[in-house]
């Protein structure tokens, strides 16, 4: 095997497949990246048996071949080399990497022992990469981080024709985002449940592609796989087991109080008041007379209060939130103004965005936040 490639192409490809390298491998081969050079193209692949990532790029291939080398070493080397052509050459059981005067010699792993990687399912549809990344980012913040509760660590994907709905929850908040896409078949209807960190990582890394192809194996398939594909990059991932909580009943409800607030002003106040407490101490909010009063701390502890002007419709209400979850929701809304609706102080509030004070509500994103108890 011998080929020469531009440093930028190699680094981009290696960075992509490295996200599927195993951190706790059950087999030493899973520490490696497969390099397969053929017909003036080089294919890279890596897997941790839950996800599998592949990339390919053009190269000057003088001698085809296939090897397996340490993924971490290859990643570190590709990033450290200058923006010059890089040559790979197999010499016995070692791969020699040269760029200018720099030279590295890497031992190879047994490529014959490397597991067969799954095939990307047929495309279910396509979506603009920036829309996909924004939508996934808005919901992934609400996914849990406790792997012992897998049904709360994922993003649920519901496809109905030209609409895709993403949702995630950790029991304390729920984020739901709808987007429009182009399905392969007009009446496509399916669901998928994926690890939040997997779909979020793929969405962020595919932002450079114009479009992203999403692939979901049929619900009747024995091997429940999802796939993401951009320009020269693919990833497959096994779907999560378990059932995502039913949340549609939360979308329609009676509203007793509505607050319209400038996001930047509210964020600054939340961050200042929350300085006196740790991240889990409740932030108390009192809505009344077009004023929002914020408070944190009680008793002998440090305390802080602040008040800002808002536009309030309906009944006054007092409520408390986890300040970190509240701040993350305000950021995720991504608009100049936020509309917060309430039914009562013991039920979830809903955050939705408005581009301007007199504009329409942006209904494709909802962030539900459960209140917390606080000492009065």
pLDDT digits (tens, 9 = 90+) for 160-218: 999 999 999 999 999 999 999 999 998 999 999 999 999 999 999 999 899 999 999 88
Q: What is the pLDDT of residue 376?
A: 57
Vertex 130, ends 352 and 199: CA angle to 5°?
A: 85
Residue 7 in contact with residue 81, Cβ under 8 Å?
Answer: yes
Residue 216 in contact with residue 158, Cβ under 8 Å?
Answer: no
* Gyration radius (Cα) of the chain, Å: 25
CATH 3.10.150.10 fits 125-248, yes or no: yes
Residue 280 has pLDDT above 80, yes or no: no
Q: Would you tell me which CATH number, out of the four given (3.10.150.10, 3.60.70.12, 3.40.50.970, 1.10.1270.20), belongs to the domain 2-113?
A: 3.10.150.10
- Expressed in angstroms, the distance from the first to the final Cα of the chain is 72
| pLDDT class of 23 with cuts at 50, 70, 90 | confident
Q: What is the pLDDT of residue 243?
A: 85
pLDDT digits (tens, 9 = 90+) for 49-86: 999 999 999 999 999 999 999 999 999 999 999 999 99
> At 37, which helix (H) or strand (E)?
strand 32-38
Pairing between strand 233-238 and 225-230?
Answer: antiparallel
Mean pLDDT of the chain: 94
Q: What is the pLDDT of residue 98?
A: 97
Residue 298 has pLDDT above 80, yes or no: no
Q: How far is CA 110 from CA 29, 94, 113, 114, 206, in A?
A: 7, 11, 6, 7, 30
Q: What is the pLDDT of residue 7?
A: 96
Q: How far is CA 50 from CA 141, 143, 214, 265, 358, in A?
A: 22, 19, 17, 43, 47
* CATH superfamily, region 253-369: DNA Polymerase III, subunit A, domain 2 (3.10.150.10)
**Residue 259, both tokens:** 């607050």
Contacts of 105 (CB under 8 A, 6+ apart): 91, 94, 95, 96, 97
Q: What is the pLDDT of residue 94?
A: 97
Residue 127 in contact with residue 136, Cβ under 8 Å?
Answer: no
Q: How many CB atoms lie within 10 A of CB 203?
A: 25
For residue 180, which of 169, 164, 204, 201 has the smallest C-alpha distance? 164
Q: What is the pLDDT of residue 218?
A: 80
The answer to whether the 2-113 and 253-369 domains have the same CATH topology is: yes
Buried b (16+ CB within 10 A) or exposed e, 283-296: bbbbbeeeebbbbb
Q: How many CA atoms lie within 13 A of 23 on its CB side?
A: 1
| pLDDT class of 150 with cuts at 50, 70, 90 | confident
Residue 149 has pLDDT above 90, yes or no: no
Q: What is the pLDDT of residue 194?
A: 95
pLDDT digits (tens, 9 = 90+) for 100-122: 999 999 999 999 999 999 999 99
Contacts of 245 (CB under 8 A, 6+ apart): 151, 169
Domain limits, the chain: 2-113, 125-248, 253-369
Is the four-CA dihedral 150, 212, 135, 9 of positive or negative sign? positive
């Amino acid at each position: 095997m011998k080929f020469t490639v531009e440093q930028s192409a190699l680094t981009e490809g290696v960075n992509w497949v490295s996200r599927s390298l195993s951190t706790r491998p059950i087999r030493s081969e899973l520490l490696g990246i497969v390099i397969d050079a053929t017909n003036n193209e080089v294919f890279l692949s890596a897997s941790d048996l839950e996800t599998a990532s592949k990339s390919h790029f053009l190269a000057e291939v003088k001698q085809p071949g296939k090897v397996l080398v340490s993924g971490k070493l290859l990643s570190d080397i590709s990033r450290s080399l200058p923006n010059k052509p890089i040559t790979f050459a197999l010499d016995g059981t070692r791969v020699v990497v040269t760029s200018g005067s720099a030279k590295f010699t890497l031992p190879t792993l047994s490529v014959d022992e490397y597991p067969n990687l799954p095939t990307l399912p047929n495309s279910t549809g396509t979506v603009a990469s920036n829309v996909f990344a924004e939508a996934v980012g808005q919901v992934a913040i609400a996914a849990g981080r406790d792997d012992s509760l897998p049904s709360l660590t994922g993003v649920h994907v519901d496809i109905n024709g030209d609409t895709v709905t993403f949702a995630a929850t950790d029991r304390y908040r729920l984020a739901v985002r709808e987007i429009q896409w182009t399905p392969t078949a007009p009446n496509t209807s399916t669901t998928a449940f994926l690890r939040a960190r997997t779909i979020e990582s793929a969405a962020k890394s595919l932002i450079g592609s114009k479009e992203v192809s999403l692939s979901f194996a049929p619900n009747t398939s024995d091997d429940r796989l999802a796939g993401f594909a951009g320009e020269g990059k693919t990833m497959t991932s096994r779907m999560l087991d378990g059932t995502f909580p039913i949340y549609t009943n939360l979308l329609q409800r009676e509203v007793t109080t509505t607050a319209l607030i400038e996001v930047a002003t509210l964020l600054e106040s939340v961050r200042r008041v929350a300085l006196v407490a740790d991240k889990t101490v409740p932030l108390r909010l009192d809505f009344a007379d077009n004023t929002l009063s914020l408070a944190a701390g009680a008793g002998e502890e440090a305390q802080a209060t602040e008040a800002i002007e808002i536009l309030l419709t309906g009944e006054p209400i007092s409520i408390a939130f986890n300040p970190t979850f509240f701040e993350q929701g305000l950021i995720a809304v991504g608009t100049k103004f936020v509309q917060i609706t309430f039914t009562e102080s013991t039920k979830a509030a809903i955050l939705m965005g408005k581009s301007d004070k007199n504009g329409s509500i942006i209904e494709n994103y909802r962030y539900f936040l459960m209140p917390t108890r606080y000492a009065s």
